[in-house]
Amino acid sequence: MEDALVRVVDLCKVYNPGENEVRALDHVDLEIHKGEFVAIIGQSGSGKSTFMNMLGCLDVPTSGKYYLNGTDVSTMKDNDLSVVRNKEIGFIFQGFNLIANLTAQENVELPLIYRGVPKKERHELSVAALKKVGLAHRMDHRPSEMSGGQQQRVAIARAIAQAPPVILADEPTGNLDSASSMEILDILKQLHAENRTVILITHDNDIAKQAKRVIRIKDGTVSYTHLRAHETCADL
């Protein structure tokens, strides 16, 4: 099997070291390979959010190693982590995180500006990404002129515009009704069908079942990993 895209080795995150320490992550080992669709599920306080911060290079572990696309990112400083995040990870958050006074297309283009992508290419990438999520007719609309589901689709377009190796979706349906939630999950399944690597963070069992592999976190440890090997997207 090819090298893991995400490889976590003996990962620990400890807050308040000493007598009253909290082990948010306790010796976690995990591999996620290119093209997988994985759900990481856990209740509040399970360590799920801390683990998401580690996988997204938003924080570093107390001990252990994290290899992302072959690079050890576990001891990197903030500036270096920022570069890795920009290049390797497309984030989709529960709260959309769109800029209110920018159009959908301008919101998708914004991170591409930070990455130094030339103007013509930025335009082409943003248009293609918005078409992919079914928003060709809403490119000039601002967030206030769109529904929650449409705003989340803009956020997905922003995440996928430059085809990062990892799509990290943190409770992406948390602020949406059931119909919009299914639309978002269908887009994530389509990205997986195109061999994108999708990591879905959730507390909801029904949402987690949409993934091909479910990893449960409890008390800072991986309590089980379940592979839905014989199912296809149609079965879900």
| pLDDT tens, residue by residue, 147-181 | 999 999 999 999 999 999 999 999 999 889 999 99
pLDDT band for position 87 (50/70/90)?
A: confident
Apex CA 214: angle with CA 96 and CA 53, to 5°? 45
Q: Taking residues 17-33, what's their average pLDDT? A: 90
The pLDDT of residue 57 is 93
The pLDDT assigned to 228 comes to 61
- How many CA atoms are closer than 13 Å to the CA of 123, on its beta-carbon side? 3
Q: How far apart are CA 115 and CA 71, in angstroms?
A: 19
Give alpha helix (H) positions in the chain. 48-55, 78-88, 104-114, 119-132, 148-160, 178-193, 205-208
Cα distance between residue 38 and residue 209, in whole Å: 10
Q: The sheet that has 89-93: what strands, in order across it?
A: 89-93, 166-170, 197-202, 37-41, 213-218, 221-227
Q: Could you give the CA distance from residue 17 to residue 15 in angstroms, rounded to a whole number?
A: 6
In the numeric block, which tokens belong to residue 135?
């928003």
C-alpha–C-alpha distance, residues 83 and 76, integer Å: 10
Whether the pLDDT of residue 233 is over 60: the answer is no
* CA-to-CA dists, residue 151 to 89, 138, 142, angstroms: 20, 10, 9
Q: Given a cut of 70, is residue 42 above it in pLDDT?
A: yes
From 36-50, 58-72, 74-88, 220-234, the region with the lowest mean pLDDT: 220-234
